[in-house]
Amino acid sequence: MPAEAQGEPLAGEPLAREPLARAPLAGAAPVAARPAAGRGLAAGLPYLAVSVCLFGGIWPVTKAALAEATPLWFAVNRAGLAALASALLLTLLRRLRWPERHDLVSIAGIGLLQLGAFFALTHLALEWVPAGRTAILANVTVFWLIPLSVWLLGDRVSRRQWLAVLVGLLGVLVLMRPWDLLGQGLGALPGYAMLLVASLCWSLAILVTRRFPPQRPVLELLPWCFAVGTALLLPLALWREPGGGIGPGAWPHAAFVGAVAAPIGTWATVEAGRRLSGIMASVGFLAVPALGVALSNLWLGERLGWDVLAGGLLIGASVLCAARG
């Protein structure tokens, strides 16, 4: 449900005036200018929940689709169909407008980093890495977002929040089952490297929208963001997969991912990243891989065992610890 329907302020309007969005670079004193923690949590957690549900389930759907689709063309469909779906929705709501100059930085950051680069790297990585582990590494923004938020935005991290990071990373480590990776050799290394770079791109996109917040609601910027992502992905697909495409059996998956999960999930993710602190957003996004691993195990038959339960519990504990600050 859109934020305005819940009685919340429109995304991009009051937040653009909040001091957090204009947090200074490292070395400044941002604490006095930051909104109350409870207010930020109340505004950001609903978006985080939507993001976790949609993006946690998107990886097993994508993995299943790649049985009859090539990775980059599926990514082009994901971005292009999302651009059309979000443009159609805004047209029906009479809110489709050309972007204004002050929103171009956010559009470029989301379109190039969170959509174009992230989609390309994660979809290619699925050739090497199981869907469950793709969901893990692609969404572990905590590796990058915490130090970058402290360095660039002047965020301060309490001892309890650092503990939340450690507990969450321990949960991710359990979900990854590194003892299994030892037997794979270096064959999957390109896939894992792509996923780490993809998580970096996502983290940078979050920082861009926090440092240069859009003045208009993020929902109204989505068609342009996805159009930028499509413009990046299309020539890459033509070059890398000239004979690729999407087979008949993969179109139902492609329709769900492109028309539903991608636009709604991206909108929710951007809003969560802007409304929550860097620590809360990055730890909260760790719930995405937990859900992704569980669904991959149930749907695709990837192994389900004590590691999924233990990792999920550790990540849940880390989110609660971070929320208490």
The per-residue pLDDT of the chain, averaged, comes to 77
Question: Does any domain span residue 8?
Answer: no
Task: Name the nearest CA neighbour of 146 among 199, 95, 110.
Answer: 199
19 located within any domain: no
pLDDT for the residue 235: 95
Domain extent, residue 170, equals: 42-324
Q: Is residue 98 part of a domain?
A: yes
pLDDT tens for 146-195 read: 778 778 877 777 787 788 778 878 877 776 677 766 665 556 678 878 88
What pLDDT score was predicted for residue 258?
92
**CA of 45: how far to CAs of 12, 242, 271, 281, 285, in Å?**
16, 42, 10, 9, 11
Indicate the range of 112-116, 165-169, 228-232, 268-272 predicted with least confidence.
165-169
Question: Is residue 252 scored above 90 in pLDDT?
Answer: yes
Is residue 235 in some structural domain? yes
Count CB atoms within 10 A of the CB of residue 301: 8
Q: Are 113 and 202 in contact (CB under 8 A)?
A: yes
Rounded CA separation 210/114 (Å): 14
Look at the chain and report how many structural domains it folds into.
1
- Which tokens hold the place of 307? 């590691």
Domain assignment present for residue 15? The answer is no
Q: How far apart are CA 261 and CA 269, in angstroms?
A: 11
For 90-100, write each residue's pLDDT tens digit. Answer: 999 899 999 99
Quote the pTM value.
0.71
pLDDT in tens, 30-57: 333 344 444 556 778 888 889 888 887 8
Q: In angstroms, rounded to a whole number, what is the distance separating the alpha carbons of residues 168 and 319?
A: 8
Is 239 inside any structural domain? yes
In a domain, residue 10? The reply is no
Decide if 26 is inside a domain: no
Q: Coil, helix or strand for 246?
A: strand
pLDDT computed for residue 142 by the predictor: 64
